[in-house]
Amino acid sequence: MADDKSMLEEQIKSQGALVRKLKEEKADADQISEEVKKLLSLKSQLGIDPKPQKVKGNSEKSKENKKPSGEDGPKKFVLKTAKGTRDFAPDQMAIREGVFNKIISCFKRHGAVTIDTPVFELKETLTGKYGEDSKLIYDLADQGGELLSLRYDLTVPFARYLAMNKVSNIKRYHIAKVYRRDNPAMNRGRFREFYQCDFDIAGQYDPMLPDVECIKIVVEILSSLDIGDFVVKVNHRKLLDGVFAACGVPNHKFRPICSAVDKLDKTPWPEVRKEMVEEKGLDPSTADKIWEYVQLSGGTELLGKLLQDESLTSQKRAVEGLEDIKLLLQYCEAYGISNRVSFTMSLARGLDYYTGVIYEAVFTGAQTAVAASSDEEGSVGVGSIAGGGRYDELVGMFDGKGRKVPCVGISVGIERLFSIMEAKAYESGQKVRTTETEVYVIAAQKGMVEERLKLCKALWDADIKTEQSYKKNTKMLTEFQYCEQTGIPVAIIIGQSEIETGIVKLKVMSSREEREVKRCDMLEEIRQVLASESSVESKPSISS
């Protein structure tokens, strides 16, 4: 017996050495596996508990058996949104939807149709259209031989659309997301992904009629939102070019200097002057002459003063710009919006494609009363909240024959508006209703699920916004509390006695008045109650 044991031990030792040798020589995996089986069989005969051996090799089976790192436990994720983006909770979305509805209503009131374009464009479509801001374009990896970029705004894609489809006249609005590789300031409404709300008029029309309507639309939208005092600054690119020429700026430096002037709304003049002189090579005396003009603002009185400036009126472009501004201000008076418009010489709009009137809406004063909902940077300061202007040559850049389609438009900085409105709601503590449910169906007893379903169907078929509990048996008190918490105006109560008598109980949640209504009269009665509640309800403007 001892000899048999010794013999098995020798066989195990020999077989083990063979397995090790095969592994060292990186033999075929199947051969190694076969020899390992023999070794385990020998060990089993000796009473040794065979343990699984790791088999090295190149077989597909060995690869499949290898677990990836971290598979044995839950993977840890960094739970955050990407830099410059954000999620929106139901109460925030309720505010956003209310604002979008008001903006779209205004655009439609002025006769606009809507279009949509892809979220990305050929890179060459976007390149060279935004001046110094071109560095903020998001480029994508090569996709099947096409170099693509995420759209930076909605204006350049619109111009491409006009040229590609040979459209020469259209009044359109477009609400969609755009992307900028910018340094975000979240509580100031500066994001990397955000919505723009654009309204544009394309076509050959008489001077300043489309332009002043764009300004009128900005005034209508911001007035309807009731979020503070604002002013729409207006200027003219031809006038700016005339100022630069009169001050001695070389033609090739017009756009770089224009970009520097555009920073005056948030950067002090000494820093802007330093950029002009040290970075862009402008003569210091020329920069000082520019400052004499760009610090001016006013109305018709400023216009009269500039029309008597001989050095300025010697420039043809300046005269054309002043004449356009004069007509624009006259039309603003006719529309009754002169109190909202300021002729501001420092307004430049840094984008390269502007050719005529430019404008920008900014808050005035009331902004400081609005506290930020974020702890990042004190009170909210959002800069411009809408802007735009005339761009008569952009479409021609895409047309093979250089066909020009004059265009003018506005873009509402919707995210910046939301930053103010969310902060205002946060400060006031007001509750924003997140659901539009009008009726909640409640069972007075157990076992009434089918009757509730029948009621819900009848209400949904009548286009009445209706909810019910997803529990078979519920407590009425809990259901009433839900209606109060979510602002549902009407509750319909059904029980066995109501079924037998062909009625329902209708409860008005605001007054807690409860009355019996015949099933055949239920829909009409609900509509009357909803109309009555709507007429007396005082809704916050930001959620209406």
Distance set, CA 306 to CA 185, 257, 294, 302 (Å):
38, 21, 12, 6
What's the pLDDT score for residue 3?
61
* Nearest of 345, 111, 147 to residue 243 by alpha carbon: 345
The pTM assigned to this predicted structure is: 0.77
* pLDDT digits (tens), the chain, 544 positions: 556 667 777 777 887 888 787 777 767 777 777 788 777 877 777 666 555 444 444 544 444 455 555 556 677 888 999 998 989 899 889 889 989 999 999 999 999 999 999 999 999 999 888 877 788 999 998 878 899 999 999 999 999 999 999 999 999 999 999 999 988 877 666 789 999 999 999 999 999 999 999 999 999 999 998 888 899 999 999 999 999 999 999 988 888 888 889 888 888 999 999 999 999 999 999 999 999 999 999 988 999 999 999 999 999 999 999 999 999 999 999 999 999 999 999 998 877 889 999 999 998 865 433 333 333 333 334 568 899 999 999 999 998 888 899 999 999 988 888 878 887 777 877 778 889 999 999 999 999 999 999 999 999 999 999 999 999 998 999 999 999 999 999 999 999 999 999 999 999 999 999 999 999 999 999 999 999 888 765 444 443 3
The per-residue pLDDT for 373 is 36
Here the tokens at position 222 are 């911001």
> What are the structure tokens assigned to 314, written together?
């010697």
pLDDT at residue 72, rounded to an integer: 60
CB 409 within 8 A of CB 211: no
Instruction: Give the pLDDT score at 424.
Output: 79
Give the chain's end-to-end CA distance (angstroms, integer).
96
- The CA-based diameter of the chain, rounded to the nearest angstrom, is 126
Using CA atoms, how far apart are residues 70 and 345, in angstroms rounded to an integer? 62
Phi, psi of 200 (to 5 degrees): -135, 145
Eight-class DSSP state of 143: B
Tell which residue, 429, 435, 412, has the closest CA to residue 488: 435
Place of tokens 């590609």: 164
Q: Can you tell me the distance from the alpha carbon of 110 to that of 203, in angstroms, rounded to the nearest whole number?
A: 16
Which residue has tokens 């501001």? 344
Residues 6+ apart with CB under 8 A from 507: 480, 490, 491, 492, 493, 513, 514
What are the beta bridge partners of residue 517?
504
Give dist(CA 109, CA 214) in Å, integer.
13
What is the pLDDT, as a whole number, of residue 38? 79
> Of 79, 78, 88, which Cα lies nearest the Cα of 191?
88
- Cα–chain center distance at 23: 60
400-406: long-range pairs with CB below 8 Å, 24+? 403/163, 405/162, 405/163, 405/167, 405/168, 405/202, 405/203, 405/204, 406/202, 406/203, 406/204, 406/205
The domains located in the chain, with CATH, are: 1-80 (no CATH), 90-428 (3.30.930.10), 439-536 (3.40.50.800)
- CA geometry: angle 163, 167, 168, nearest 5 deg: 105
Q: Residues near 297 by Cβ (< 8 Å), separated by ≥ 6?
A: 233, 342, 343, 344, 345, 346
Helix (H, G, I), strand (E, B) or coil at 93: helix
Q: Tokens representing 140?
A: 């994508």
Task: At 250, list the tokens.
Answer: 């070389």
